[in-house]
Amino acid sequence: MHKKGINYIFIGLLILCTSCFEIIEEVSFNKDGSGHVTLTMNLSKSKTKLNSMLLLDSVNNYKVPSKQEIRQRIAQAVEKVKRIQGISNVKNSIDFGEYIFTVSCDFTDVDALNTVISNFSTKKDAAMIKKQKHFSFDTAKNTFTRNYHYDISAAFKKTNMEDRKVFETATMTTIYRFETPIVSSQNTTAKIAGSKKAIMLRVNAQDIIKNKNSIKNQIKLQN
């Protein structure tokens, strides 16, 4: 794990886990496209093993990041997020008791939100996010789109069999909330709340890797 960046810190932590972990993306949108986002990485089901692993220098040829290093990387990322135009109320939490890490903020539009996401990515992926946009919100058509460009399958094939175990029970959960009712969702796996103003999608990492499912979606809202 010789490359620097918050994403590599967490990749290292994930590789050390053989239990379940979950990435949660929660976004609440206002009618004008502004809103609030909370990003969570939950490694709590692997906390016992992580406590042991953090006492070591390396595991499976991966350098084990120290708690101080993890704090520093998160702090650096948070400071970058605070400087993004259109971003405010930036907060983060680090819980080494349960190994749950969160970052949250308010955004004025989805362009600012896309920039936030790019700060947790490699330079190559950040450029791709800027070009393809993970999030788009057409206020004229009342349509929200969640895009996704990562080719996890290609990266997965480059890992060894031992490292692949981390993804066996891993999940990605997206939760989107709106002020107006949801009319339709292109991703049929997503579940619309009874209020029609929220939608949740939980996808197994293995299904994303094998292209059996995706977090991509287009959500039409009531006019």
Residue 71 gets which letter from DSSP? H
Give the chain's mean pLDDT.
Answer: 82
pLDDT value of position 52: 83
Domain total in the chain: 1
Q: What's the confidence (pLDDT) of residue 179?
A: 95
Distances (CA, A) of 116 to 2, 9, 132: 24, 18, 15
Q: For position 17, what pLDDT does the model report?
A: 52
Low-confidence ranges of the chain (pLDDT < 50): 1-9, 15
Q: Which residues of 166-187 are buried (b: 16+ CB within 10 A; e: fewer)?
A: bbebbbbbbbbbbeeebeebeb
Residues 74, 58, 164, 162, Cα dihedral to 10°: -170
pLDDT score of 208: 77
pTM of the model: 0.85
pLDDT reported for residue 159 = 60
- What range does the domain containing 23 cover? 2-221
